Amino acid sequence: MSRVFVAYTGGTIGMVPGAGGFVPKPGEFLDIFNHLDFVGAPELPDFVIEEFDPILDSANMRPTDWNRIASIIEEKYTEFDGFVVLHGTDTMAYTASALSFMLEGLRKPVILTGSQIPLCRIRSDGYRNVVEAMTLAGDYSIPEVCIHFGGRLLRGNRATKVSSAALKAFDSPNFPFLGRVATGFKVRDDLVRRSPHGALKVHSLGRSRVGALRIFPGMEAEILENILRPPLQGLVLECYGVGNAPVQDGKIPAVIESACRRGVVVAIASQCSDGTVDLGGYATSSALAQAGAISGLDMTVEALMTKMMYLIELGLPTDQVKYRLGVSLRGELS
Ligand code: ASP
């Protein structure tokens, strides 16, 4: 029988109503889950659940928490066949993207899930998500970091939270689902990454300074200039459409050019979730490329930010960081 390690990091799944809204309550998830009739059913893999201390609303998660998750996976790696990470939905796509880069050489499934409705509520979507994630982690060969939510199995670094209300809260706009679970399990072996060679190598994250800024009509170049000041090392600039920005007065390209000359990495993402950045499609995007910005292609903002952190923290020279941002490392771009 396969063995699955479940890291319970927090999120709505184990929350209860508090004075200011839902809050994670230590022990709540385990209390409810361990008393369910189906726990111990032969369909479920053998599993061990470990509750993090503290458990967090994922809005409070930081790279140090990603490091904790990566470390526990490393510690339990040989003992278990697969891993489930129970996590809040708000930053689940950031954690999944970060882990995909941090866990180099991963050969076992790491499936993140959680719920939109807490387990303490009768309509909770948590039971289904957890049971399905455990099955995927225990019974399938999926050597990558995924999000499984609302019956959709998504590559983690392709996923983004698209709904604060729907039970299918995540989508993967630029890549097909890796699988679907309805009455049965369907996993697309043709899309799942091949198992890499070599041992697992875990990278920590959190020493770099990166940011993101969304362009909007009338945005003054000073806003961009301020955010690009030291100690910032990398910026994801969320532009319009294929990567367009207001460039007519030349101020935004000038600010980008001066930051790039100082060695700051500026990557252009799109405010559209679907499609790819194409710097050069319009004069309003070529100007950014000429200033030294690079294309974020069809990566999610979550993947682009965490990949930038990962590459900067590898200690690579700026031109290498820029080059590798455009190369698929873990299936994060087409
Ligand atoms: N705020 C919650 C969290 O991200 C939302 C959720 O879990 O759905 O932890």
Q: Convert the pLDDT of each residue in 296-319 to its tens digit.
A: 999 999 999 999 999 999 999 999
**What is the pLDDT confidence band of residue 113, given thresholds at 50, 70 and 90?**
very high
Per-residue pLDDT tens over the stretch 267-279: 999 999 999 999 9
Angle 203-13-169 from CA coordinates, rounded to 5°: 80
| Alpha-carbon distance values, 294 to 6, 20, 242, 308 (Å) | 38, 42, 12, 12
Strands 145-149 and 152-155, bridge-based pairing = antiparallel
pTM: 0.98
8 A C-beta contact, residue 124 and residue 117: yes
Name the average pLDDT for the chain.
Answer: 97
pLDDT of residue 301: 98
Tokens of 64: 């140090």
Determine the average pLDDT of the residues in 237-248. Answer: 98
- Fold topology of 210-325: Rossmann fold (3.40.50)
Nearest 5°: the CA angle 12, 14, 20 is 60
Cα–Cα distance measured from residue 95 to residue 98, given in angstroms and rounded to the nearest whole number: 5
Specify the pLDDT at position 39. Answer: 80
- pLDDT above 90 for 215: yes
Atom of ligand 1 nearest to the CA of 13: 7
What six digits make up the tokens of 158? 């392709």
Architecture (CATH level 2) of domain 3-202: 3-Layer(aba) Sandwich (3.40)
According to CATH, where is 3.40.50.40 located in the chain?
210-325
pLDDT at 38: 79
Separation of CA 324 and ligand 1 centre (Å): 32
Pairing type for strands 265-270 and 234-239 reads parallel
Distance between Cα 87 and ligand 1 center (Å):
7
Q: Which residues are catalytic?
A: 12
Mutate to test the pocket of ligand 1, among 57, 85, 160 (most ligand atoms within 8 A of CB): 57
What is the per-residue pLDDT for 111? 99
Percent of the chain whose predicted confidence (pLDDT) is above 90:
97
In the chain, ranges of CATH 3.40.50.1170 domains: 3-202
What DSSP designation does 240 have?
B
Which of 30, 32, 11 is CA-nearest to residue 22? Answer: 11
pLDDT digits (tens, 9 = 90+) for 36-86: 887 888 889 999 999 999 999 999 999 999 999 999 999 999 999 999 999
What is d(CA 64, CA 332) in angstroms, rounded to the nearest whole number? 22
Could you tell me whether strands 82-86 and 110-113 are parallel, antiparallel, or unpaired per DSSP bridges?
Answer: parallel
Name 30's Cβ contacts closer than 8 Å, sequence gap at least 6. 8, 49, 51
Atom of ligand 1 nearest to the CA of 60: 9
pLDDT over threshold 90, residue 117 = yes
Would you say residue 328 has pLDDT above 90? Answer: yes
pLDDT at 41: 86
With a 6 A CB cut-off, is 156 part of the ligand 1 pocket?
no
Distance from Cα 115 to the centre of ligand 1, integer Å: 8
The pLDDT score that the predictor gives to residue 37 is 80
23: pLDDT strictly greater than 90: yes
